[in-house]
């Protein structure tokens, strides 16, 4: 998968994405990440890319032309059979990013991520080039660079080969709308807390059952919004009910 990030801060993006798993996947040729400096496409001698908004108001806006030229430089290279490339504009006004969106976008061969700064970008260029508006959550950041890095990370780990073992991408949080179960490593006892005995039993079916139950409890207790969406078997629903009844009666003792 190839990421093309249009930004005023290419170093920030590249420095944040050249380590660990993503850095290794780039070196292995599984991913490519390029940061295109929008300032390189400024059309005036001061290389300025921002100006005051018509109608007044606080702050500056990124102008349409440098953004458009930076986009065109990338699109010209990757455009296939006249197809319009997918362009994500990172903005608090977008659809909220989640695992499902990550899965869908990770199918693309090329993805252009457009990072705004200041008070935003002239609407006209957004209308012309953006295909998807994405927010990473209901809070406002100073620019789209961190959200773009979040998206590159979340999408990259879904690209085959990036995580080495395909099982981990599949079983982690949010697959099935369930949170991940708790995990333990050595030693067997730490600060007086023992590793749950089922995990030491070597009985794989019991371990799988315990993990699924833990995922269900966690999701129920911590993320009722996700719990609404997860599909449990009748047996699992009964098990959860018994677990909760048992918990209440223990509490009352």
Smallest distance, ligand ADE to C-beta of residue 78, A: 23
Region class of 228: left (phi > 0), else alpha (psi between -120 and 50), else beta: alpha
**In angstroms, what is the minimal distance from the CB of 233 to ligand ADE?**
37
Cβ density class 55-73: b for 16+ within 10 Å, e for less: eeeeebbbbbbbbbbbbee
Residue 90 CB, shortest distance to ligand ADE, in Å, is 4
Measured from the CB atom, the residue of 121 and 178 that comes closer to ligand ADE is 121
Q: Is 139 annotated as a binding residue?
A: yes
Give the contacts of 10 (CB within 8 A, at least 6 positions apart): 35, 36, 37
∠ CA 139-143-149, nearest 5°, is 90
Task: Using alpha carbons, list the distances in angstroms from residue 57 to 38, 61, 232.
Answer: 24, 10, 51
Is 136 assigned to a binding site?
yes
Strand order in the sheet with 2-7: 32-37, 2-7, 110-115, 87-96, 132-135
Cis peptide leading into 247, omega within 30 of 0?
Answer: no
> In this complex, which beta carbon is closest to ligand ADE, that of residue 93 or of residue 183?
93
The residues, ordered by sequence, that sit 6+ positions from 15 with a Cβ below 8 Å of its Cβ are none
- The residue among 85 and 144 lying less far from ligand ADE, judged by its C-beta, is 144
Supply angle C-alpha 187, 243, 168, rounded to 5.
50
Q: Which of 66, 144 has the CB closer to ligand ADE?
A: 144
- Tell whether 56 is in a known binding site: no
112 is in an annotated binding site: no
Nearer to ligand ADE, 54 or 139 (CB): 139
Least distance (Å) between residue 16 CB and ligand ADE: 15
What is the closest distance, in whole angstroms, from the C-beta atom of residue 234 to ligand ADE in the complex? Answer: 40
Please say which residue, 25 or 148, places its beta carbon nearer to ligand ADE: 148
Min CB(44)–ligand ADE separation in Å: 26
Backbone angles phi, psi at 236, to 5 degrees: -70, -40
Q: Is 51 annotated as a binding residue?
A: no
Using alpha carbons, select from 83, 131, 107 the residue that is nearest to residue 1.
107
User: Interface residues with ligand ADE (CB under 6 A)?
Assistant: 90-92, 135-137, 139-141, 144, 147
Binding-site residues for S-adenosyl-L-methionine, in ranges, read: 116, 136-141
Binding-site residues, in ranges, read: 116, 136-141
């Amino acid at each position: 998968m190839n990421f093309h990030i249009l930004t005023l801060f290419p170093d920030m993006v590249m420095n944040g994405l050249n380590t660990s798993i993503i850095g290794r996947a780039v070196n292995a040729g599984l991913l490519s990440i390029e940061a295109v400096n929008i300032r390189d496409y400024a059309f005036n001698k001061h290389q300025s890319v921002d100006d005051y908004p018509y109608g007044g108001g606080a702050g500056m806006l990124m102008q349409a032309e440098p953004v458009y030229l930076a986009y065109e430089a990338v699109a010209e290279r990757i455009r296939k059979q006249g197809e319009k490339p997918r362009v994500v504009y990172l903005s608090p006004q977008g659809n909220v990013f989640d695992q499902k969106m990550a899965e869908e976008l990770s199918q693309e061969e090329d993805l252009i991520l457009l990072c705004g700064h200041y008070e935003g970008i002239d609407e006209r260029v957004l209308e012309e080039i953006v295909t998807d508006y994405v927010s990473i959550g209901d809070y406002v950041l100073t620019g789209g660079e961190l959200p773009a890095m979040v998206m590159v990370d979340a999408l990259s780990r879904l690209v085959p080969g990036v995580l080495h073992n395909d099982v981990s991408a599949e079983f982690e949080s949010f697959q099935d709308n369930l949170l991940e179960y708790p995990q333990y490593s050595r030693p067997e006892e730490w600060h007086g807390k023992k590793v749950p005995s089922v995990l030491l039993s070597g009985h794989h079916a019991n371990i799988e059952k315990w993990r699924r139950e833990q995922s269900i409890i966690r999701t129920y207790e911590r993320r009722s919004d996700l719990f609404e969406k997860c599909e449990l078997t009748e047996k699992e629903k009964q098990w959860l009910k018994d677990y909760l009844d048992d918990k209440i009666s223990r509490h009352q003792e």
